[in-house]
Structure 1
């Protein structure tokens, strides 16, 4: 079994870890060309080619303050539909949960997060998308091993595991009259 982290975006981070947590694959995927929908379709196809039906996958959830929301939503939902079509189950971790898992705080900046990832795991990469995917893969691994490794996780990591496994249901918005 592999543990896969995917940070979907126009530059998608992809990391696969083996059962011991060693990196099997780490790369940034961009698809072909610059014009959509071709770029989006080829990007999603590229991600799917790197996955296997036995993988435990953790995908970064949608951010709320992104400037490219529509584009990222298209890629994010396209990826989720492709995984669904292949009957591949995936977990979803919010951007703040990813940061909290690696650093203990949900609002850590990218540069500081890179330091935490290196200190905790010894992993370095020039792409923040790949670094995020690495943490997502570690979340998948931690969830799989949560009963065996419960005492090795920090309080923040245990909280993230619980949140990913049991997300809070979204409350219904009241209709405005």
Structure 2
């Protein structure tokens, strides 16, 4: 069985963090304004859709002010993933933070420190860090962990509705 090719996405209308299947991270920004940003983000994700087995996306916060705008980004990205037959998993912010740090209310600094401690990774911004942790969670769930995590933190991934992957990439 091969390692699943997982794309981690921390979606935002202004700065979408991503972690590519090879571990490279970045933040998608651009000069686009308004709804054209949706098209640009959708196009960027579409450019990777044929080369991934799964996208792991940070879910919308339940009561966030920006949930409406971020929801539009989610809709654009989920649509392109569905059009390309790419399954995706949604990880709530609290679950992601608990997986990475052991605390569901961890702040951005704690997430960055956990990545530095566990993997020796530093990122240009918190969007990249979250995307990297999303990818790491997906790899861990499917039996290809890149970092050693305590069992209690790994158990947090049980809260996610993980899709079944094809036999050639399953754990």
For 2:134, the equivalent position in structure 1 comes to: 136
| Cα deviation, residue 48, structure 1 | 2.3
| Cα deviation, residue 16, structure 1 | 1.7
SS in 2 for 1:91: strand
8 Å Cα contact 1:31-1:40 kept in structure 2? no
Q: How many residues align?
A: 157
Equivalence map 1:11-90=2 (5 Å): 11-18=15-22, 23=23, 25-34=24-33, 36-90=34-88
Stretches (4+) displaced over 6 A: none
8 Å Cα contact 2:11-2:17 kept in structure 1? yes
One of 145, 152, 155 as aligned partner of 1:156: 152
User: Which structure would you say has the larger Rg?
Assistant: 1
CA displacement 1:104-161 (0-9 Å, x = unmatched): 1110011122111111111111210110000000011001107xx6xx5423333222
For 2:5, the equivalent position in structure 1 comes to: 2
TM-score with structure 1 setting the length: 0.80
For 2:91, the equivalent position in structure 1 comes to: 93
8 Å Cα contact 1:102-1:120 kept in structure 2? no
Runs of 5+ unmatched residues, structure 1: 167-177
**1:100 & 1:59 partners in 2: Cα distance?**
16
Greater shift in the superposed pair: 4-13 or 40-49: 40-49
**1:155 & 1:165 partners in 2: Cα distance?**
19
**1:99 & 1:143 partners in 2: Cα distance?**
15
8 Å Cα contact 2:45-2:80 kept in structure 1? no
SS in 2 for 1:112: helix
Runs of 5+ unmatched residues, structure 2: 163-171
